[in-house]
Amino acid sequence: MRILRYAAFSDDPAGGNPAGVVLDAGTLSDAEMQAVAADVGYAETAFLTERRGPATYRVRYFSPLAEVPFCGHATVGTAVALADRDGPGALTFVTNVGAVPVTVDDRRRATLTSVGARVADLAADDLTALLAALRWQAADLDPALPPRVAYAGAFHPVIAAGTRQRLADLDYDVPALKALMQAREWTTIQLVWRETTDRFEVRNPFPVGGLYEDPATGAAAAALGGYLRAEGLVPDGTVVHVAQGGARITVTLTPGEDGVRVSGTAVPIPG
């Protein structure tokens, strides 16, 4: 078994969101995959456990604490790792939530298409508990972007800050937020600030995965795209730019597709 490391959504190995990648995980048990992910220590490590046909692979994702149903940045990292080995082209990843098509070009840029996106109301009691855990007030929210729970392979509450400063001041109650997320099966909290109609800065608390913050989250970006479309905030065909720290994620809402396209580069991390 060889553990590769890729930085996703960045051209800099020191930037973006690092992912572990194991291309030959067919003999590993669940416990062994969990142990590897904990040892790697990144937000997620992806494991290819089986080849199911030409360019089709069974993929599972583990955070340091638990298996997660879908992970966008590790999908991008794994697709680029396969392209580095086999050449660019089209792939299919069979994940716990369904088949995810991915294409990789010759510039190490991968584009995944999520499973169908959907959006649900966030219960008033859950919003109250979530704001308390975040140490936010209702007045901190952007009234033009209502709180919702969005899904595009994993569940993410979308909470919009009214100001960039509110987004920047991330100081949450870790035990309280972790307990709420575990009870509701939320993967990360997608905190956003809208700079323009199609440009967002985001943060992603990730205590259920053992990290204070997930550095750049493709699954949450896909969920955000689904949210923007469902709420009528952007029309189909829009390309949305998502920034998280130094990472850059492109979200495309393609007419006629239930899923959301998420694109970004990935590069190997030396060592």
In CATH terms, 3-104 corresponds, of 1.10.540.10, 3.40.1400.10, 3.10.310.10, 3.30.200.20, to 3.10.310.10
Provide the token pair at 97: 């939530």
| CATH homologous superfamily, domain 118-265 | Diaminopimelate Epimerase; Chain A, domain 1 (3.10.310.10)
pLDDT along the chain (271 residues), means of 10: 97 96 98 98 97 97 97 98 98 98 97 98 98 98 98 98 98 98 98 97 97 95 98 95 95 96 98 81
Asked if residues 9 and 266 have their Cβ atoms less than 8 Å apart, the reply is: yes
**pLDDT at res. 255:** 96
Asked if domains 3-104 and 118-265 share a fold, the reply is: yes
DSSP 8-state class, residue 135: T
**pLDDT at res. 245:** 87
Q: How far apart are the first and last CA of the chain?
A: 16
Residues 6+ away with beta carbon under 8 Å from 229? 117, 235, 236, 253, 260
**pLDDT at res. 271:** 81
Alpha carbon 11 to its chain's center: 18
Chain position carrying tokens 């939530």: 97
User: What are the sequence ranges of the domains in the chain?
Assistant: 3-104, 118-265
